């Protein structure tokens, strides 16, 4: 691009100089010739005033001093040289002057001016002034050389300005190209810098907006993959173990095992729906989720996790009053958050897990507590990648809560207690 900008600037400057220099060179030539003719005419007129009325009778003429390169001669009425320098016969220029007019001619490589000499109303002779045309052309050529030098100087300045301007124009684009290559290599934090060119800045802003959008999409994709892996692994393991246990026990109730497997499959389907909804929705908008009584959700969660905790010798207590238990909340979202909190208590907590439902009037509070101690502060415990495990569950639970217009917080550290606040439409 730099070479192209310089080339375009040079072509434009050359065309401009050509359009200016050619007419100027022609004007210089005509000006120099006209000036020389003017000088010759003044020399001739200065000689005319020295020719007296007795010139026709043979009176001699004293020529005034003039320029060294100018020849002056006085011719009589017959066209013969009487005084000064010049050809013996005046030629066409003297002949036209004897007819009563000023003659301007070029003859024999000279510029010639002939002026008539009059006495009374009669032309009695002519004064011829001439100079070498080479002298005039030498001055013209020197002027053209100076003009050419100025043109070359202007072209040189144009090259300097064009190279600088090319650098100004191409540097932001080269930086944008480097940024694009960095992004192509996987650096999604690279951003195009601001420049002094509005059009390039507009391209840079569009480029940055595109990269930010792609980064968000890729982050959502990564989060969805991690979330799906985190949320589906435990239920799938439980489903597999339940089916294998039913197959291994000849006296097992196959219908009960299939009913339990169907319930777990429905739960997996709801889990996938929630994860997809979270991955494809704007974080600033609440996710629509079918309403369900909170008591039903707590009972379903108790069925899923009672056996898991019991196998480790731990108790699960779910405490709630019948009236608050009938209040509707976002069903699938609340279900997923409860699974994350139960899984966190199972993996990182200890002792009895206690779930308490509290009616706050404008919201429902669900407390999930165990007898362990939280090792992380509330400001970092919900960040992804934090903690001893994968660091996904609590971050996902908070994202689900925020997307549904709810709030999840660490309300106690010794013992560990998480509180989920579920707003009620218009209170009660």
Nearest Cα to Cα of residue 94 among 108, 123, 115, 110 = 115
More confident residue, 165 or 111: 111
CATH code of 142's domain: 3.30.450.20
In the beta sheet, which residues pair with residue 417? 369, 412
Q: How many domains does the chain have?
A: 2
CA-CA distance, 116 to 112, in Å (whole number)? 13
Domain extent at residue 125: 2-151
pLDDT of residue 197: 82
Confidence grade of residue 351 (pLDDT, cut at 50, 70, 90): very high
Rounded-to-10 torsion of CA 339, 340, 344, 345: -40
Q: Is the peptide bond before 415 cis (omega within 30 degrees of 0)?
A: yes
Residues 44, 72 contacting (CB under 8 angstroms): yes
Q: Is residue 44, in this structure, part of any structural domain at all?
A: yes
How far, in Å, are 51, 60, 99, 312, 385 from residue 103 at the CA level? 18, 24, 10, 130, 105
pLDDT of residue 284: 42
* Domain end (from 108, 135, 151): 151
CA-CA distance, 257 to 238, in Å (whole number)? 12
Q: Is residue 114, in this structure, part of any structural domain at all?
A: yes
CA-CA distance, 301 to 318, in Å (whole number)? 10
Q: Is residue 185, in this structure, part of any structural domain at all?
A: no
Residues 400, 393 contacting (CB under 8 angstroms): no
Average pLDDT value for residue range 133-146: 90
Residues 127, 74 contacting (CB under 8 angstroms): yes
Q: Is residue 124, in this structure, part of any structural domain at all?
A: yes
CATH code of 419's domain: 3.30.565.10
Rounded-to-10 torsion of CA 285, 287, 288, 293: -130
Question: Within 13 Å and on the Cβ side, how many CA atoms surround 166?
Answer: 16
pLDDT of residue 370: 93
Please list, in sequence order, all residues whose beta carbon lies within 8 angstroms of the beta carbon of residue 294, skipping any fewer than 6 positions away: 320, 324, 325, 326, 327, 328, 329, 334, 357, 364, 366, 422
Q: Is residue 28, in this structure, part of any structural domain at all?
A: yes
pLDDT of residue 389 exceeding 60, the answer is no
Q: Is residue 207, in this structure, part of any structural domain at all?
A: no
Helix (H, G, I), strand (E, B) or coil at 100: coil
Average pLDDT value for residue range 44-63: 74
pLDDT of residue 283: 44
Q: Given the DSSP bridges, would you call strands 353-359 and 316-319 parallel, antiparallel or unpaired? A: parallel
Model pLDDT for residues 175-190, shown as the tens digit of each residue: 888 888 988 888 888 8
* Domain end (from 151, 173, 206): 151
Q: Is residue 350, in this structure, part of any structural domain at all?
A: yes
Candidate from 88-92, 95-99, 289-293, 424-428 with smallest mean pLDDT: 424-428
Model pLDDT for residues 368-377, shown as the tens digit of each residue: 999 988 877 7
Confidence grade of residue 356 (pLDDT, cut at 50, 70, 90): very high
Candidate from 199-208, 223-232, 235-244, 409-418 with smallest mean pLDDT: 223-232
* Domain end (from 87, 121, 151): 151
CA-CA distance, 230 to 392, in Å (whole number)? 7
More confident residue, 244 or 418: 418
Candidate from 78-92, 107-121, 249-263, 274-288 with smallest mean pLDDT: 274-288
Residues 308, 235 contacting (CB under 8 angstroms): no
Mean pLDDT across the chain: 82
CA-CA distance, 253 to 269, in Å (whole number)? 24
pLDDT of residue 285 exceeding 50, the answer is no
Confidence grade of residue 408 (pLDDT, cut at 50, 70, 90): very high
Q: Is residue 228, in this structure, part of any structural domain at all?
A: no
pLDDT of residue 213 exceeding 50, the answer is yes
Rg of the chain (C-alpha set): 53
pLDDT of residue 282 exceeding 70, the answer is no
Residues 103, 96 contacting (CB under 8 angstroms): yes
Residues 301, 342 contacting (CB under 8 angstroms): yes
CA-CA distance, 72 to 113, in Å (whole number)? 10
Confidence grade of residue 317 (pLDDT, cut at 50, 70, 90): very high
CA-CA distance, 289 to 370, in Å (whole number)? 28
The model carries a pTM of: 0.49
């Amino acid at each position: 691009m730099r070479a192209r900008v310089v080339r375009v600037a040079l072509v434009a400057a050359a065309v401009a100089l050509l359009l200016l220099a050619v007419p100027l060179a022609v004007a210089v030539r005509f000006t120099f010739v006209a000036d020389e003719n003017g000088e010759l005419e003044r020399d001739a007129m200065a000689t005319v005033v020295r020719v007296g009325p007795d010139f026709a009778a043979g009176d001699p003429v004293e020529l005034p001093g003039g320029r060294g390169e100018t020849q002056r001669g006085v011719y009589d009425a017959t066209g013969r040289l009487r005084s000064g320098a010049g050809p013996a016969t005046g030629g066409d220029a003297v002949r036209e002057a004897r007819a009563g007019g000023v003659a301007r001619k070029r003859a024999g490589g000279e510029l010639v001016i002939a002026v008539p000499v009059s006495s009374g109303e009669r032309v009695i002779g002519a004064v011829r002034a001439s100079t070498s045309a080479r002298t005039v052309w030498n001055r013209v050529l020197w002027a053209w050389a100076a003009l050419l030098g100025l043109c070359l100087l202007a072209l040189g300045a144009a090259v300097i300005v064009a190279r600088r301007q090319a650098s100004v124009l191409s540097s932001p684009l080269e930086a944008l190209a480097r940024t694009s290559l960095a992004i192509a290599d996987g650096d999604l934090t690279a951003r195009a810098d601001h420049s002094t060119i509005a059009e390039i800045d507009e391209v840079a802003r569009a480029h940055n907006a595109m990269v930010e959008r792609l980064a968000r999409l890729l982050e959502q994709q990564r989060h969805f993959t991690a979330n799906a892996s985190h949320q589906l692994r435990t239920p799938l393991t439980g489903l597999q173990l339940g089916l294998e246990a039913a197959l291994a026990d000849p006296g097992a109730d196959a219908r009960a095992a299939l009913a339990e497997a169907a319930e777990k499959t429905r739960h997996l389907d709801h889990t996938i729906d929630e994860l997809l909804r979270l991955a494809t929705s704007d974080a600033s908008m609440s996710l629509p989720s079918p309403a369900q009584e909170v008591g039903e959700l707590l009972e379903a969660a108790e069925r899923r996790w009672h056996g898991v905790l019991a196998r480790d010798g731990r108790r699960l207590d779910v405490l709630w009053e019948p009236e608050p238990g009938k209040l509707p909340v976002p069903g699938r979202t609340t279900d997923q958050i409860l699974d994350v909190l139960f899984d966190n208590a199972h993996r990182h907590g200890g002792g009895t897990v206690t779930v308490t439902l509290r009616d706050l009037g404008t919201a429902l509070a669900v407390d999930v507590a165990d007898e362990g101690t939280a090792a992380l502060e509330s400001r970092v415990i919900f960040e992804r990648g934090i903690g001893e495990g994968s660091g996904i569950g609590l971050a996902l639970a908070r994202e689900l809560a925020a997307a549904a217009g709810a709030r999840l917080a660490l309300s106690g550290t010794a013992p560990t207690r998480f509180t989920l606040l579920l707003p009620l439409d218009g209170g009660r």
